[in-house]
A and B are shown apart, each in its own frame.
Chain A
Amino acid sequence: AQSVTQLGSHVSVSEGALVLLRCNYSSSVPPYLFWYVQYPNQGLQLLLKYTTGATLVKGINGFEAEFKKSETSFHLTKPSAHMSDAAEYFCAVSDLGDDKIIFGKGTRLHILP
């Protein structure tokens, strides 16, 4: 069964520093990959997605992620953290031909002033 592992349930970075949130998936076939963000008491908002083509994907709010098939990874990065980035981030995967999304457990990002 497909699964997603997010390393670190909490990550703290200083404002202006690099944000790196790690995600690994288990699949023998490259799936669709997603990063969602959830602000307190809100639903999930899609940050970016990988389907096919270019392995470096750019999303909203300055975030990007790189699909690395050899490492089965899809890490999320942002060059310079902003206070408004404080939220919970979920990596997710969907197999080709499947309709449900499998989510990781999430990483809460804290931004230090």
Chain B
Amino acid sequence: DTGVSQDPRHKITKRGQNVTFRCDPISEHNRLYWYRQTLGQGPEFLTYFQNEAQLEKSRLLSDRFSAERPKGSFSTLEIQRTEQGDSAMYLCASSSTSTPTYEQYFGPGTRLTVT
């Protein structure tokens, strides 16, 4: 068990560019979550998947954001036409429905800076 991994760890992009982040969950976990954390705030829920199905999306997830988990394993989060307000840490977490408390394990995050 290598834990949740995210790639890249840091991304600097210019306003208007598209970016894509990847998350690899713990291998036996069937649920995968995306959160966004801005400076001085706690993480905010964006969306989550159970296997390949996207079950819930937050109103924070504007139409410029799209997430996929095509084979029920890794997930990607794409932001189109980035804005400076998108600068944040994007955290991925995974869990297993066989764990009654749905305990989530977090990855190290991808820090996005939009210039």
Q: A residues near B, CB below 8 A? A: 4, 9, 32, 36, 41-46, 49, 51, 90, 92, 94, 99-106
B69 within 8 A of A: no
* Structural contact, B106 and A102, CB atoms closer than 8 A: no
How distant is A59 from chain B, measured CB to nearest CB, in Å? 12
* Structural contact, B41 and A44, CB atoms closer than 8 A: no
* Structural contact, B43 and A90, CB atoms closer than 8 A: yes
Other 13 A-B pairs with CB < 8 A, given A42-B108, A43-B106: A41-B108, A43-B91, A43-B107, A43-B109, A44-B91, A46-B104, A51-B100, A100-B56, A102-B45, A103-B43, A105-B40, A105-B41, A106-B42
* Structural contact, B101 and A100, CB atoms closer than 8 A: no
Per-residue contact bits, chain B 46-73, to A (CB 8 Å; 1 contact, 0 not) = 0010000001101000000000000000
Q: Which residues of B contact A101 (CB under 8 A)?
A: 43, 45, 104
Q: Which residues of B contact A102 (CB under 8 A)?
A: 45
How distant is B48 from chain A, measured CB to nearest CB, in Å? 6
Q: Looking at the complex, which one of A9, A46, A92, A100 makes contact with B48 (CB distance below 8 Å)? A: A100
Q: Which residues of B contact A51 (CB under 8 A)?
A: 100-101
B31 within 8 A of A: yes
